[in-house]
Amino acid sequence: MAEGLFLTFEGCDGCGKTTVLKRVSALLEEKGIPFLLTREPGGSHIAEEIRNVILDRNNTEMDPRCEALLYAASRRQHLVEIVLPALKKGELVLSDRYLDSSLAYQGYARGIGMEEVYSINLFATSGRLPDLTFFLDLSPEEALERIHKNASREVNRLDLEKENFHKKVYEGYKILLKKYPERIVRIDAKQTVEEESKQIVDIILKRLKA
Ligand code: TYD
């Protein structure tokens, strides 16, 4: 059986990724296309436990390299437990964040260096890159405005970082977009959720046919 398609969704905090993913899922369901929607560390107990350590608001003194290693460890477990078995069965897998998050957040914004973070992630994923990545492009200013308006959203430790950090994350993603033009597709996140979701689903349908 042919391996399934592995698609990932990336963007800065507040870019609307979660909302768009919900709508994309609904559209795929309407079209009768089976898929697995997951998010790091979704559905893996061990990966979840690792993530809790990272996002704990008390862990403000966490070393950047330690954080990068924990994300990579959590990613490994989620990949092996959830993503790879589904792909092996030929399923379409949509993942809310994957290694590009580490490259932008830890590699670029935290200043460890993208190459170094890439190398530990290469180890963690055995080199399994996504087949296609959607980058939901919203400027950090607009993204932060959305976060502040959306009071119901849970505020995690990383949300509390300085605005400068969010700007750097965005710059990091822009670098990745240039570096991997074949793999990463830019989606204008200033559009309505409906427009964005339709654009994404059209691209997915084309890839499935190809
Ligand atoms: P989450 O609550 O999942 O936010 P979102 O809905 O925006 O994805 O928290 C994820 C946070 O962790 C977010 O600020 C991005 C950050 N992150 C990294 O810094 N590195 C990573 O490798 C991943 C997967 C996430």
Res 145: pLDDT: 79
Rounded alpha-carbon distances, angstroms, from residue 35 to 7, 54, 171, 202:
10, 28, 31, 15
Q: Which atom of ligand 1 is nearest to the CA of 17?
A: 6
- Residue 9 C-alpha to ligand 1 middle, in angstroms? 11
Q: Structure tokens of 54?
A: 């990272």
pLDDT band at 144 (very low <50, low <70, confident <90, very high): confident
Q: Structure tokens of 47?
A: 């990966």
pLDDT tens readout for residues 30-47 = 999 999 999 998 889 999
Res 154: pLDDT: 67
pLDDT tens readout for residues 96-124 = 999 999 999 999 999 999 999 999 999 99
Res 35: pLDDT: 98
Measuring from atom 22 of ligand 1, which residue has the nearest CA? 102
Q: What is the mean pLDDT of residues 125-153?
A: 87
Q: Structure tokens of 78?
A: 């989620």
Q: Return the ∠ at Cα 12 (arms to 199 and 178), rounded to 5°.
A: 70
Among 9, 10, 12, 13, name the best residue to mutate to test ligand 1's pocket (greatest count of ligand atoms within 8 A of Cβ). 13
Res 142: pLDDT: 87
Please state the pTM of the whole predicted model: 0.92
Q: Which residues contact 136 (CB under 8 A, 6 or more apart)?
A: 9, 10, 11, 15, 16, 17, 20, 187, 189, 196
